Amino acid sequence: MLVAEGRSNLAIATALTVTEAAVAKHTRNILNKLGLPQAEDTHRRVLAVLTYLRG
């Protein structure tokens, strides 16, 4: 939900009282499980939210 709100890793970490590195790790794992490869011309977080909304 926080990603869908457009929050940064730091903002999510602060809201959840975890480290920014933990948020980055979990976000990366989620994006990989969704099959969203890393690319310079796409925004994987936006694609992840769209995937969630379509599901």
Query: Could you identify the residue written with the tokens 């925004």?
Result: 43
- Domain residue spans of the chain: 9-54
Q: Give the per-residue pLDDT at 42.
A: 85
pLDDT tens track for 1-55: 798 888 999 999 999 999 999 999 999 998 899 898 888 888 888 888 888 888 8
pTM here is 0.79
Give the three-state DSSP class for 37: coil
Q: Give the per-residue pLDDT at 18.
A: 98
Q: Are 7 and 16 in contact (CB under 8 A)?
A: no
Q: Give the per-residue pLDDT at 3.
A: 87
Q: Give the per-residue pLDDT at 20.
A: 97
